[in-house]
Amino acid sequence: MKKAISFLRSMTFGIILLGIIVLLSVIGSLIPQSQSAMTYVTQYPKLYRIILTAGFDHVFTTWYFLAVTAMLCINLTLCSIVRFNAVKNHRFEIEKAASIPAAVQLEPEAVKKVEAALEKEHCRRHEFEGKGTVYTKNEFGRFGTFITHLGILLTVIFWAAAMYLPRIMDETCYPGESIRLEDGTEIYVDSFSIETDAKLDYKSVVNVKLPDGRESGLKEVSVNHPVSMGKYKVYQQTYGTIGKVTVTNAEGVQDEFYLETNDFLSSDGKNGILYDNLYPDFTEENGQMQVISSTSGSYKNPVYVYTVVEDGLQTDVMLAFPQDEQEIGDFTIRFDDPVEYPGLRIKKTPGFVNICLLLSFLVMTAGLYITFFVQPVQVTVMPDGYTVSGYRQEGIRILLKEAAAEETEKEKSDA
């Protein structure tokens, strides 16, 4: 049991866990997360089975990522406890150091010079009856590793909070339109594009405007490259294509409509068109046209399918291409080019999480600074010399050596 606990709190185990987390994070950054299965089949034809089976399409919510993160928290907690106990009991270490024999032998006058130099350096004096005198400086430096581990632990905890606590909203928005959230935040989609040259890639240009008037400005959003503003992060999640028609009446007044399956366009409720669907492409064999129902990327040859309704009865099933028109009474319906639009994932993170994450970074940074630049000084002074113990303190060694040498030179000149 002791060996198991010792391994769990060891630096080796912590480094292994950090390495695994970094590796999984790189995978999660390179592979788009939370996309449809067809996206991975299209973009990674040779690897999609591995991606879907291993859960690399949602790395940060897999059981193994959560397990590794939890074990890292356990490792850091145990390390922090051990180091805190060591710091808390440092008085016993000082008393133990008071019994260490002098490593550098000196004459009594030189010893006094050494003590004077330590006093000048504002070292704290610890005296123990029947033992040597211990001088210490920068005792707070003993907390360096404890504060560093605590900072890393808090960073992991609040990073996890930033990953799993945000409220997630999935929204679609057509280019040129806006989404208004419940707190008044407005997300405007300026444009959307799909590129299919090398591999499928889709991007939006958005502007996030907060209730207080602050704006992100027009920023490009692509998969794994969100736009951040205030408490919000806007991700490019998916995309879609929708049909669009322009209806013109006898007076020449026009109106535009986006089409959903089973939409009925009619002026009197009896005559009109019943919209079926929009298909991305078609094939033609022996004079027969067959529509293609699935594709990825842009629609190369979009085809509208609808049914003409006369006096409440469905008559002919029709096909139409962009710019084709259908006369219905006094109305003309023109089928326009389909509109490509983004599916956005909006994450709203509680304000305290970002503040706590920043503070945890500051704690970790402070711990590293204390560890490397506020190193404790510990010197045991005996009647016959002194010993620098426990820490690498080349500066204090040189100082004491010079103080002792000064007394030796004085003795030689007196002689």
* Segment 307-321, tens digit of pLDDT: 999 988 998 899 999
Does 148 map to a domain? no
pLDDT value, residue 406: 63
Task: Kindly tell me if the per-residue pLDDT of 58 is higher than 60.
Answer: yes
The answer on 51 and 180 residing in a single domain is no
Does 104 map to a domain? yes
Does 346 map to a domain? yes
Closest CA to 187 of 241, 225, 226, 161: 226
The answer on 120 and 55 residing in a single domain is no
Task: Kindly tell me if the per-residue pLDDT of 371 is higher than 90.
Answer: no
The answer on 247 and 233 residing in a single domain is no
Burial of 254-290, coded b for 16+ CB within 10 Å and e otherwise, reads eeeeebeeebebeeeeebbbbbbebbbeeeeeeeeee
pLDDT value, residue 1: 67
Task: Kindly tell me if the per-residue pLDDT of 273 is higher than 60.
Answer: yes
Does 356 map to a domain? no
Q: Running DSSP on this structure, what letter comes out for residue 411?
A: H
pLDDT value, residue 4: 74
CATH of the domain at 95: 3.30.310
Q: How far apart are CA 249 and CA 16, in angstroms?
A: 71
Q: Which of 111-120, 289-298, 316-325 has the highest mean pLDDT?
A: 316-325
Burial of 203-233, coded b for 16+ CB within 10 Å and e otherwise, reads bbbbbbbbeeeeebeebebebeebbebbbbb
pLDDT tens string 335-359: 999 999 999 999 998 888 888 989 9
**What average pLDDT does the structure give for the chain?**
86
Confidence of residue 189 (pLDDT cuts 50, 70, 90): very high
The answer on 172 and 56 residing in a single domain is no
pLDDT value, residue 412: 47
Confidence of residue 280 (pLDDT cuts 50, 70, 90): very high
> What dihedral angle (degrees, nearest 10) is formed by the CA atoms of 113, 102, 371, 11?
170
The answer on 322 and 273 residing in a single domain is yes
Q: Running DSSP on this structure, what letter comes out for residue 122?
A: T
Cα dist. 315→134, 187, 272, 309, 312 in Å?
103, 43, 11, 6, 9
Specify whether the CB–CB gap between 321 and 218 falls below 8 A.
no
User: Region 169-198: what's the mean pLDDT?
Assistant: 90
The answer on 310 and 255 residing in a single domain is yes
- What kind and span of H or E run contains 105? strand 104-105
- Percent of the chain whose predicted confidence (pLDDT) is above 70: 94
The answer on 260 and 218 residing in a single domain is no
Sequential DSSP letters for 66-88: HHHHHHHHHHHHHHHHHHHHHHH
Does 196 map to a domain? yes
Task: Kindly tell me if the per-residue pLDDT of 88 is higher than 80.
Answer: no
Task: Kindly tell me if the per-residue pLDDT of 47 is higher than 50.
Answer: yes
pLDDT value, residue 408: 53
Task: Kindly tell me if the per-residue pLDDT of 209 is higher than 90.
Answer: yes
The answer on 275 and 208 residing in a single domain is no
Q: How far apart are CA 332 and CA 321, in angstroms?
A: 15
What is the residue range of 323's domain? 243-336
Task: Kindly tell me if the per-residue pLDDT of 7 is higher than 80.
Answer: no
Q: What is the pTM of this model?
A: 0.64
pLDDT value, residue 76: 87
User: Region 92-109: what's the mean pLDDT?
Assistant: 85
Q: Which tokens hold the place of 26?
A: 């790189």
pLDDT value, residue 415: 45
Does 145 map to a domain? no
Task: Kindly tell me if the per-residue pLDDT of 197 is higher than 80.
Answer: no
Confidence of residue 91 (pLDDT cuts 50, 70, 90): confident
Report which of residues 375 and 265 the model is more confident about.
Answer: 265
Report which of residues 9 and 57 the model is more confident about.
Answer: 57
Residue 128: HSE in the Cβ half-sphere, 13 Å Cα cutoff: 18
Task: Kindly tell me if the per-residue pLDDT of 397 is higher than 50.
Answer: yes
Q: What one-letter code names the amino acid at 404? A: A
Does 159 map to a domain? no
Task: Kindly tell me if the per-residue pLDDT of 279 is higher than 90.
Answer: yes
- Percent of the chain whose predicted confidence (pLDDT) is above 90: 36
The answer on 304 and 194 residing in a single domain is no
Burial of 7-34, coded b for 16+ CB within 10 Å and e otherwise, reads eebeeebbeebbebbeebeeebeebbbb
The answer on 94 and 84 residing in a single domain is no
Does 102 map to a domain? yes
The answer on 347 and 199 residing in a single domain is yes
The answer for residues whose C-beta is within 8 angstroms of residue 378's C-beta and 6 or more apart is 94, 97, 134, 135, 136, 388, 389, 390, 391, 393
Q: Which tokens hold the place of 311?
A: 């006096």
The answer on 346 and 206 residing in a single domain is yes
Closest CA to 169 of 179, 177, 159, 160: 179
- Domain tally, the chain: 4
pLDDT value, residue 340: 93
Task: Kindly tell me if the per-residue pLDDT of 409 is higher than 70.
Answer: no
Among candidate residues 318, 351, 384, the one where a domain is terminated: 351
